Structure 1
Amino acid sequence: MAAEERPGIAVAVVVRGGRVLMVRRRVPEGELAWQFPAGGIEPGESAEDAAVREVGEETGLAVRAVAPLGERTHPVTGRAVTYWACEAPSGTAEVRDADEVAEVAWCAYAEVAERVPYGLHEPVRRYLAGVLAR
């Protein structure tokens, strides 16, 4: 199935305590190994709801979407992607979907660039710079 025919992807950018939640994929897709929790938007589901659901499924963390951070065609996967800023007031993130996720980590701003060598979507980068690089 061509990228434009596959469902869109919702991405949750979860920040807490000066760090952002990242997951390492069990099977990398090209350079894409570390990413923010993300997954396909199901029929009838909003991107916002999908972002929240994916965090729970992948890490067990309950989050609340607070603001859209933009959309783009992902440069590595070619998929339509929607980004959401999310809050996680409490709880522990851990690997909950071992078929998809190998590891979870709360990363400082400098670590994100090390884990995402192809670069962040500019609105996401600006958001993280504002909330993490304080």
Structure 2
Amino acid sequence: MTQQKSDERPGIAAAIVVHEGRVLLVRRRVSEGKLSWQFPAGEVELGEAREDAAVRETQEETGLVVGAVKLLGERIHPATDRLMSYTACEVLGGAAHVADADELAELAWVTHAEIPQYVPYGLFEPVQHYLDATLPCGSDGVYRR
């Protein structure tokens, strides 16, 4: 479980949801700097595990029911200066849609080749490695590194 000091801003938990050869990205109504498209994410509540927060935020934002597979890593995000954790998740049920229209403008299931169009500034290295290993990289569906 992640412990927060009372004077610190809560950490942000992001869900890396891969399903049928694509990864889920959401576009927030209000961008954080140049961050427009990103993974479903939100603040970790007091006493909540990072992985549980990623699962909860995904359902709240997209209506998709997911389960945490593994924590991929964490860092201080260079653009927001917030503690970020990234959790690989699997789809358990539901269909992704904009469930929280106050926060999200749209969502997209993105192929490996399309990621740079949505996130041109690159991904956190452990997340990129996970997606490289998990998503088909070529148009022929062959996994490549």
TM-score bucket of the superposed structures, by smaller chain: over 0.9
| TM-score, reference length from structure 1 | 0.94
Q: Between Structure 1 and Structure 2, how many residues are aligned?
A: 131
Mapped to 1, the partners of 2:83 and 2:132 lie a distance apart of 24
Q: 1:69 aligns with which of 55, 69, 72?
A: 72
Return the structure number with greater relative CO, CA threshold 8 A, min gap 6: 1
Higher helix share: 1
* Offset, 1:81: 0.4
Give 5+ residue unaligned stretches, structure 1: none
Matching residue within 12, 16, 26 for 2:19: 16
Identity of aligned residues (%): 62
- Structure 1 runs of 4+ aligned residues shifted over 4 Å read none
Question: What stretches of structure 2 of length at least 5 have no aligned partner?
Answer: 1-6, 138-142
Cα deviations by residue, 1:35-83 (Å, 9 ceiling, x for unpaired): 0000000011110100000000000000000011001111111100000
TM-score, normalised to structure 2, is 0.87
Q: Bigger radius of gyration, 1 or 2?
A: 2
Distance 1:32 1:5 in 2: 22
Q: Secondary structure at the match of 1:88?
A: strand
